[in-house]
Amino acid sequence: MITAIVFVKADVASIPEVAEAIAAIDGVSEVYSVTGQIDLIALVRVKEHEAVAAVVADQLNKVPGVSSTETHIAFRAYSRHDLESAFAIGLD
């Protein structure tokens, strides 16, 4: 599974509508409204690298109200759940 984190700058007047439109795209698992330099963060989870381009370049960038995006591909995931599972091996 390929995970991409997409920073989205959007038209301030239409952030909720932009977020909903992005969330409706197949391959987008979550969209967060955030503070700071960007307006939204979208998590894209797909099976192949080519699908990242199909989701971000072909669809997400074309949502009305999106002014720019910056995409980051995740190499490895670290989460509390993963760490707890790793340290719990053999403790049962």
Q: Is 33 exposed, middle or buried (0-12, 13-18, 19+ CB in 10 A)?
A: middle
pLDDT tens column, 14-51: 999 999 999 999 999 999 999 999 999 999 999 999 99
Residue 82 pLDDT greater than 80, yes or no: no
Domain limits for position 78: 2-87
Q: pTM, whole model, 2 decimals?
A: 0.84
Domain membership flag for residue 8: yes
Banded model confidence at residue 79, pLDDT cuts 50, 70, 90 = confident
Which domain CATH number covers 33?
Answer: 3.30.70.920
Higher pLDDT, 25 or 88: 25
Count of structural domains within the chain:
1
* Residue 78's pLDDT band (cuts 50, 70, 90): confident
Residue 67 forms part of a structural domain:
yes
